[in-house]
């Protein structure tokens, strides 16, 4: 472990390796470092090398502080309680003054474990030689505190109390008490019988986030993602959790969001897609490549199409034909089946997809083909369109099926590998994976329908926003996520996460909307998000018309904004630094150093090209990126027939709380909520997700034509199937909720709206008229309403442990100010520590509220108030 301290800033680290025999101590030191938001390298712990060694000077100091010998190669004392160790560390830090070193050893990546920042270390040397140490820090919400105590204030109170209770107890000259080993042992035992924990692991592009909840405050941590083998990041996150003192065997479920499906389709990370053979109706083998026949970019003469997942020579036409009623026009003869099987076998496929025209109306031919292929090629995964996506519109159905087939081997391999790694480490918990609609599925099910895992990553944020809305009893919230590269918006209306029925996997977006023809259509419900290239790393530039532009290119995290010191790109983060909204010397709660002068230089270049001042250029960059993000919010509200003024804005991601006020002002939103952990909100979403099982079937009948009872008869088997499916996922039978829906439209139209669907066909039609009017501004009540699909949805709470996300301890905060550029001039603005705000305390804007993983800008006219764990901004 390396812990170093910057005397200026108060962050720091301890240098050394911890001895296995002093495992407890090791864990405590680690935890303390974590608690104090000190960047620690977990390498040595993970490797099992646990020798503790302190630097030369440090050893002397420690020795002096403890009044005992500390042998450089011997175990360090293990019988200090947590408070004592803090004190020791504080003294060390205070007296050491070593510069902070962030780079990991051996490329394993740093383990970021803290939201509590060591803000002040005071050490007093008294005349009699006593050194009294005191640590002031900010304790964030939801982070693990093994002892549940405020390490700073209360530790001191406890010591004073003990001193009062037992005046005879020895007190070391530095003001700390040395405890007897027995106490330590009992603490160890208490920890061993830890409560069951639920763990959420969200694999992102740069970081893998882990959040664990049980009884008591949650533990949250980040490790670096290993892009080529994402399961390694998952395992390391669990190991880091173990290092925090949580026995992995106590985990009773793991909720996981993975980007492996999207990455595979993007051709990233050396994930090789298998050779897919597509078996389809004769005369139509190119439907899957022709797609909708359109160009995804109208003026791009160099346009390309996504590479077909099944190459032309691997697309086999079969002599068969079904009509739209499901009647056979050309029968599928056994000789033809045999011929096709030979053709498929000759290609040695890694996966097979079967898709015939109108198979949603009658699947007999597809089943026969599947059976024959399955018998001839056991072990090769096969999907048929009537099973994967039994809805009409052939291109979208075939595409969904082929994408699913292509992903089967990779996702199966990933989930199996992960399971094996978990088993190896004594983790017996079942693994659940998040799907694109925000529901959770057991890994076994997830691996048979991998196309439903695409787009699950971004869903977590909206799911978490829905849970927050439920907690606060709000019906309508907008989930706004602004990270380093992209800004995303999703909607929760009437308590329900807004879903869309189809997306372009691995596709592009244009002006926030996904572009038809740019990717592979996949028709599963997914959280309807709008996404735009706007984030902290988005690059500002001046075009050859002399206009200031922001994006779409991003500097990402590497090289990152100019202030990272690796390149000169003027980014949104640099603008925020120049304006004073971000700390000029460090990000991430003081642990990530930056150089504001580089921000100023980069922005000055922009200002020069525009002929304006540095501050005006920085303010302009922020204004323009805010206008772009405002558009993204409009896409998921106004364009869906919803009024943003009816919504509260949940702002998260590293940069969301910084830009939220401007967006709310632009859209007429009067209430903003900043969750406890904005930078890890997606992982929180995993914990908040529910089990969800959907069963659907096409109906394609007009409501007026349905006889009494026909609608119920169509839905009954779907209800049974959904219920059985969710029980198989581990749901508790008593807590299953069942819902019925229909996709409806006016006859002659081709876009459907989803409406609740009970047994009364007339009521369903009326619900459709009302929904149509809301969304599109008109209804045609004398027109026939057609039900295209019916659907049964079963949801149930996640089995097992209830998440109990209690707030962390309170730390009084030191008042500070910073100069922020507002409306043409710098003004001194209060700078508050989020953990230092009391429940119900209001902070009037302009103000900055900092925490480890985000900064909230409270604009003039707004007031921020702590409401339990959340920060609420109103105007």
Partner 1 sequence: MSADPILGEVIAGALVYAGEEMGIAVRNAAYSPNVKERLDHSCALFDARGRLIAQAEHIPVHLGSLPWGLTRTLAAIRATHGDVAPGEMWVVNDPYLSGTHLNDVTVIRPVYFRGALAGFAANKAHHADVGGSVPGSISTDAGDLFAEGLVVPPLRLMRGDAIVPETVELFRANSRTPDARSGDLRAQVAGNVTGERRLLELFERYGAPAVDAAIERALDASERRMRAALRALGDGVFDAADALEDPDGDPTLRIALRLTLRDGEARFDYAGTVAQVPYPLNAVYGVTLSGIFYALRAVTDPSIPMNDGCFRPVHVDVPEGTLLNPLRPAPVGGGNVETSTRNADVVLHALAKAAPHRVPACSGGTMSNVMLGAADWAFYETNGCGMGARPDADGLSGIQCHMTNTLNTPIEAIERDYPLLVTAYEFAPGTGGRGRRRGGDGLIRALRLTHGTAHATLLADRHTVAPPGALGGEDGTPGAHALVREDGTREALPAKCSRVWKAGETIEVRTPGGGGYGPGDGEG
What is the contact surface with partner 1 in residues (CB under 8 A)? 283-287, 289-290, 292-295, 297-305, 312, 323-324, 329, 357-358, 392-396, 511, 516, 543-549, 610, 612, 616, 619-620, 623-624, 627-628, 631, 634, 638-639, 641, 700, 746, 748-751, 775-778, 780, 783
Report which of 47, 46, 66, 52 is spatially closest to residue 2, judged by C-alpha positions: 52
Considering the complex, state which of residue 284 and residue 480 has its C-beta at the smaller distance from partner 1: 284
Considering the complex, state which of residue 17 and residue 619 has its C-beta at the smaller distance from partner 1: 619
Considering the complex, state which of residue 176 and residue 768 has its C-beta at the smaller distance from partner 1: 768
Least distance in Å: CB of 85 to partner 1?
53
Least distance in Å: CB of 602 to partner 1?
18
Least distance in Å: CB of 545 to partner 1?
4
Residue 468 has phi, psi (to 5 degrees) of: -65, -40
Least distance in Å: CB of 294 to partner 1?
5
> Tokens 């996922």 appear where?
729
Q: What angle (nearest 5°) sits at the alpha carbon of residue 785, between those of residues 784 and 788?
A: 135
Considering the complex, state which of residue 241 and residue 619 has its C-beta at the smaller distance from partner 1: 619
Considering the complex, state which of residue 746 and residue 768 has its C-beta at the smaller distance from partner 1: 746
Considering the complex, state which of residue 298 and residue 825 has its C-beta at the smaller distance from partner 1: 298
Angular region, 33: left φ>0, alpha ψ -120 to 50, beta rest: alpha
Least distance in Å: CB of 620 to partner 1?
4
Least distance in Å: CB of 618 to partner 1?
11
Alpha-carbon gap, residue 487 to 474, rounded angstroms: 23
Alpha-carbon gap, residue 620 to 742, rounded angstroms: 47
Considering the complex, state which of residue 287 and residue 714 has its C-beta at the smaller distance from partner 1: 287
Report which of 483, 608, 486 is spatially closest to residue 541, judged by C-alpha positions: 608
Least distance in Å: CB of 605 to partner 1?
16
Considering the complex, state which of residue 73 and residue 300 has its C-beta at the smaller distance from partner 1: 300
496-497 and 487-493 beta bridge pairing: antiparallel
Alpha-carbon gap, residue 570 to 637, rounded angstroms: 31
Least distance in Å: CB of 538 to partner 1?
15
Distance of CA 767 to the CA centre of its chain: 35
* The three-state (H, E, C) secondary structure of 29-41, written as one string: HHHHHHHCCCCEC
DSSP string, 820-835: EEETTEEEEEEEEEGG
Considering the complex, state which of residue 95 and residue 548 has its C-beta at the smaller distance from partner 1: 548
Least distance in Å: CB of 596 to partner 1?
22
Per 3-state DSSP, the chain is made up of helix, strand and coil in percentages (nearest 5) of 35, 25, 40
Q: Which residues of 671-693 are buried (b: 16+ CB within 10 A; e: fewer)?
A: bbbbbbbbbbbbbbbbbbbbbbb
Considering the complex, state which of residue 596 and residue 616 has its C-beta at the smaller distance from partner 1: 616
Report which of 468, 836, 471 is spatially closest to residue 651, judged by C-alpha positions: 468
Q: What angle (nearest 5°) sits at the alpha carbon of residue 689, between those of residues 220 and 833?
A: 35
Considering the complex, state which of residue 548 and residue 793 has its C-beta at the smaller distance from partner 1: 548
Residue 849 has phi, psi (to 5 degrees) of: -120, 115
Least distance in Å: CB of 543 to partner 1?
8
Least distance in Å: CB of 328 to partner 1?
13
DSSP string, 230-270: HHHHHHHHHHHHHHTT--GGGEEEEEEE--HHHHHHTT-TT
Beta bridge partners, 649, equal 478, 672
């Amino acid at each position: 472990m390396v812990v170093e301290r910057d005397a200026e800033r108060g962050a720091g680290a301890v240098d050394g390796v911890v001895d296995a025999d002093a495992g407890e101590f090791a864990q405590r030191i680690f935890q303390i470092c974590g608690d104090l938001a000190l960047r620690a390298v977990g390498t040595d712990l993970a490797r099992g090398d646990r020798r503790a060694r302190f630097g030369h000077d440090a050893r002397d100091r420690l020795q002096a502080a403890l009044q005992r010998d500390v042998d450089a190669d011997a175990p360090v004392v293990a019988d200090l309680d947590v408070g004592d160790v803090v004190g020791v560390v504080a003294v060390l830090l205070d007296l050491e003054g070593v510069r902070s070193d962030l780079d990991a050893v051996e490329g394993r990546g740093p383990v970021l474990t803290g939201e509590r920042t060591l803000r002040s270390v005071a050490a007093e040397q008294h005349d009699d030689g006593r050194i009294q140490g005191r640590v002031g820090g900010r304790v964030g919400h939801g982070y693990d505190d093994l002892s549940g105590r405020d390490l700073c204030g209360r530790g001191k109170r406890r010591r004073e109390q003990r001193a009062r209770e037992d005046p005879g107890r020895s007190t070391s000259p530095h003001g700390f008490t040395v405890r007897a080993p027995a106490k330590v042992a009992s603490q160890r035992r208490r920890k061993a019988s830890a409560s069951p924990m639920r763990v959420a692991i969200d694999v992102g592009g740069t970081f893998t986030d882990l959040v664990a909840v049980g009884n008591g405050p949650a533990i949250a941590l980040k490790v670096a993602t290993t892009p080529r083998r994402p399961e390694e990041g998952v395992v390391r996150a669990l190991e880091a959790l173990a290092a925090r003192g949580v026995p992995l065997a106590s985990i009773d479920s793991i909720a996981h969001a993975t980007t492996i499906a999207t990455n595979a389709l993007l051709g990233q990370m050396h994930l090789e897609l298998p050779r897919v053979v597509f078996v389809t109706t004769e005369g139509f083998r190119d439907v899957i490549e022709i797609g909708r026949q359109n160009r995804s970019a109208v003026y791009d003469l160099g346009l390309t199409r996504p590479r077909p997942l099944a190459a032309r020579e691997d697309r086999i036409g079969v002599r068969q034909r079904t009509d739209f009623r499901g009647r056979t026009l050309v029968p599928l003869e056994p000789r033809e089946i045999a011929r096709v099987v030979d053709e498929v076998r000759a290609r040695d496929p890694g996966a097979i997809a079967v898709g015939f025209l109108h198979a949603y109306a009658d699947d007999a031919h597809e089943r026969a083909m599947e059976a024959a292929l399955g018998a001839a090629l056991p072990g090769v995964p096969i999907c048929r369109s009537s099973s994967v996506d039994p809805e009409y519109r052939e291109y979208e159905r075939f595409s969904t099926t082929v994408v699913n087939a292509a992903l089967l081997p990779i996702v199966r391999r990933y989930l199996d590998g992960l399971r094996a790694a978990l088993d190896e480490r004594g983790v017996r918990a079942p693994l659940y994976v998040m799907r694109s609609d925000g529901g959770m599925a057991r890994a076994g099910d997830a691996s048979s329908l991998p196309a439903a895992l695409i787009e699950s990553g971004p869903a977590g944020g909206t799911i978490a926003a829905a849970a927050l809305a439920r907690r606060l009893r709000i019906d309508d919230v907008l989930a706004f996520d602004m990270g380093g590269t992209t800004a995303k918006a999703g909607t929760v209306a009437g308590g329900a996460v807004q879903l869309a029925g189809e997306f372009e996997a691995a596709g592009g977006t244009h002006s926030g909307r996904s572009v038809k023809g740019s990717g592979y259509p996949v028709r599963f419900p997914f959280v309807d998000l709008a996404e735009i290239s706007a984030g902290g790393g988005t690059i500002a530039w001046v075009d050859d018309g002399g206009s200031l532009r922001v994006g779409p290119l991003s500097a990402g995290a590497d090289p990152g904004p100019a202030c990272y010191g690796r390149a000169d790109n003027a980014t949104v983060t640099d603008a925020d630094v120049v304006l004073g909204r971000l700390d000029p010397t460090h990000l991430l709660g003081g642990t990530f150093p930056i150089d504001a002068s580089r921000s100023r230089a980069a922005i000055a270049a922009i200002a020069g090209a525009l002929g304006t001042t540095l501050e005006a250029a920085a303010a302009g960059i922020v204004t323009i990126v805010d206008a772009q993000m405002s558009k993204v919010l409009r896409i998921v509200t106004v364009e869906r027939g919803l009024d943003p003024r009816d919504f509260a804005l949940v702002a998260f991601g590293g940069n969301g709380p910084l830009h939220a006020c401007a967006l709310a002002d632009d859209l007429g939103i009067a209430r903003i909520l900043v969750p406890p952990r904005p930078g890890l909100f997606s992982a929180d979403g995993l914990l908040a997700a529910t089990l969800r099982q959907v069963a659907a079937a096409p109906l394609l009948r007009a409501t007026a034509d349905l006889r009494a009872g026909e609608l119920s008869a169509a839905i009954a088997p779907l209800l049974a199937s959904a219920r059985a499916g969710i029980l198989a996922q581990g749901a508790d039978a008593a807590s299953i909720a069942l819902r019925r829906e229909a996709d409806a439209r006016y006859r002659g139209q081709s876009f459907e709206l989803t409406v609740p669907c009970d047994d009364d066909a007339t009521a369903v039609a009326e619900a459709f008229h009302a929904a149509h009017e809301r969304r599109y501004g008109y209804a045609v009540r004398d027109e026939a309403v057609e039900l295209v699909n019916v659907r049964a949805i079963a949801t149930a709470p996640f089995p097992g442990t209830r998440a109990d996300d209690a707030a962390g301890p309170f730390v009084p905060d030191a008042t500070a100010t910073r100069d922020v550029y507002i409306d043409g001039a710098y003004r001194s603005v209060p700078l508050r520590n989020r953990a230092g705000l009391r429940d119900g305390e209001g902070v009037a804007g302009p103000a900055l509220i900092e925490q480890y993983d985000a900064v909230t800008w409270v604009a003039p006219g707004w007031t921020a108030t702590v409401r339990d764990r959340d920060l609420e901004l109103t105007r």
